[in-house]
Amino acid sequence: MIGDEPLSTDELRRIDRTIRADWPTGEAVDFQEAVAYHESLPRHKRFADVLESADRPLLQPRAGVPLLEDQIDLLEYLRESGEADLLPTTIDSYTRDNEYGKAQEALEAARESGGETLNGFPAVNHGVDGCRALIEAVDGPIEVRHGTPDARLLAAITFAGGFQSFEGGPISYNIPYTKRHDLAKTIEHWQFVDRLAGAYTERGVRINREPFGPLTGTLVPPSIAITVMILEGLLAATQGVRSLTLGYGQVGNVVQDVAALRALRSLGEEYLPNDVCVTTVFHEWMGGFPPDEARASGVISLGGLTAAIGCPDKVITKSPQEFRGVPTMEANAAGLRTTRQIIDMALEQTITIDGIDDEQRLIERETRALLDAVDAHGDGDLVRGIVRAFETGALDVPFAPSESAQGAVLPARDDDGRVRILEFGNLALSEDIKAIHAARLAQRAETEGRERSFRMVADDVDAISDGRLIGRPLGGERRAD
């Protein structure tokens, strides 16, 4: 197994040659020329600089369509009518599976019919020139957002194509996304992506990297998400990444979400090397949305309020059409403006809520325990520690489809709607921490007059789309006493 060591220049070049042969557009990648291209970009398109110098949370939507012209129009619309500060380019599913041939067929079909034959922008097929045409036409910084376990060719082409921010990581784009990708192999693939970002960084082009914080997007306990963020941050830092944005997905309880955002920033700064600039990103609710645009706007607004109090550097917004999949550009822009309105109103006042410090302390204790367990599993090597900790279940992600993880952890909300752990599997938390979770869930069980069980989990998964936070039985009414 590979270790947590920087790839050598020779190794970087060797892998680069191999992966660029995977698809014809790989040919056009020229690192020296690409560095010069990045230097020619104006400051307001340099992703890391814009993000790191912001004085309020910046907003970014998700958006990706197959054709270049349509993608330009979509991003310009979201920038102008949605007031997006940062822009995305979401990559299609074929590219995520490294099926560039299928993506090409679908892209050609889209060019003929104009239809939506792909669920994103096939950046590998568009190649370096296509990416640069997008970067030049859109008047803001753009990030590559995807979900690709082996993103080496995608990174080589999009970095050369002028993108300066790249989402994902070896844990966050493997464990929640796929069943059969071996974790050690995925870490090796991301070492290349991060080393390439590091090589640009050393030449003065700081590529921002963003591990995917929401993981499975379904009731993920904050300490598990933060642990994964720090681990991926450490792996990226080893390869020379110096601009890292750590992520966290809203769970819907304001106290827990604010506490988690503060813990994420505090532990990120503590654990990552001093020469890494750490920023944070808050994802608006990633679970099921109400099938009603007015109610969905309510969910989005709670995310905006939470962001104003928790002050992440960036917020990834949702649209009021979330329940039905990919939104229209108008709905996407509406989600951005709803969020902007709430954040800007809330930022102008002081909002003090009790309980945030206690919750933050609990999250930090749990995170430290999980990070210690990874360390203990590694015999001095972080990569080995991560792979073994997932194997034993000492580190685990709820609802993970991957065979590299146990997937034995089951979360449920407590009586206040905070996400606690019902089933721990082998998760490396101490008995006293487990007792806190058990007590909180017992309190909910008493309120609801039922046993703690998987029924709570099932009810909680649907609760927000059903118009509530907590999955209470019998229409969610609390017992009268």
Shortest gap between Cβ of 423 and another protein (angstroms)?
8
Token pair, residue 19, equals 């992966």
Catalytic annotation, pick one of 62, 132, 145, 167: 167
Closest separation between CB of residue 189 and another protein, Å? 19
CB of 284 to another protein, least distance (A): 19
Separation of alpha carbons 306 and 346, rounded Å: 9
CB nearer to another protein: give 135 or 219. Answer: 219
The conformation of residue 315, written as its DSSP 8-state character, comes to E
Output the CA–CA distances (angstroms, integers) from residue 200 to 146, 167, 206, 326, in the order listed: 21, 16, 6, 33
Residue 400 or 428 with smaller CB distance to another protein? 400
Q: How far is the CB of 402 from another protein (least distance, A)?
A: 9
423 an active-site residue? no
Q: Which is nearer to another protein, 139 or 454 (CB)?
A: 454
In the bound state with another protein, the residue whose beta carbon lies nearer, of 258 and 421, is 421
Cα(11)–Cα(18) distance, integer angstroms: 11
Please identify, using beta-carbon distances, which residue of 20 and 181 lies nearer to another protein.
181
* Distance in Å, CB of 403 to another protein, minimum: 7
Q: Nearest-CA neighbor of 238 among 271, 261, 287?
A: 271
How far apart CA 220 and CA 458 sit, in angstroms, is 14
2/410 with CB nearer another protein: 410
- Which of helix, strand or coil describes residue 155? helix
Cα–Cα distance measured from residue 333 to residue 321, given in angstroms and rounded to the nearest whole number? 11
Amino acid at 143: E
Which CB, 225 or 334, lies closer to another protein?
225
DSSP-based three-state secondary structure for 210: strand
CB-based contacts of 227-230 (< 8 A; 24+ apart in sequence): 227/367, 227/370, 227/371, 227/374, 227/395, 228/169, 228/171, 228/172, 228/175, 228/395, 228/397, 229/172, 229/264, 229/268, 230/267, 230/268, 230/271, 230/272, 230/367, 230/371
Helix or strand (DSSP H, E) at 187 = helix 183-202
Q: Which is nearer to another protein, 82 or 147 (CB)?
A: 147
What is the contact surface with another protein in residues (CB under 8 A)? 177-180, 216, 218, 398-401, 403, 407, 410, 423, 451, 453-454, 457-458, 461
The number of C-alpha atoms within 13 Å of 345 and in the hemisphere containing its C-beta is 10
Q: Give me the amino acid identity at 13.
A: R
The distance of closest approach from Cβ of residue 281 to another protein in the complex, given in angstroms and rounded to an integer, is 24
When the beta carbons of 293 and 459 are compared against another protein, the nearer one is 459
Confirm if 181 and 402 have CB atoms less than 8 A apart: yes
**Other CB atoms within 10 A of residue 372 CB:** 12
* Number of neighbours of residue 473 by Cβ within 10 angstroms: 12
Q: Tell me how far, at minimum, the Cβ of 117 lies from another protein, in Å.
A: 17
Q: Pairing relation of β-strands 58-60 and 314-316?
A: parallel
For residue 318, give both structure tokens: 């949702």
* Structure token pair of residue 310: 């928790």
Does residue 96 have an active-site annotation? Answer: yes
Task: List beta partners, residue 423.
Answer: 410
Catalytic residue among 20, 46, 96, 418: 96
- Minimum distance of another protein from residue 400's CB (angstroms): 7
Tokens 């109610």, located at residue:
295
Comparing C-alpha atoms, which of 145, 158, 216 is closest to residue 396? Answer: 216
CB of 86 to another protein, least distance (A): 28
Active site residues: 96, 167
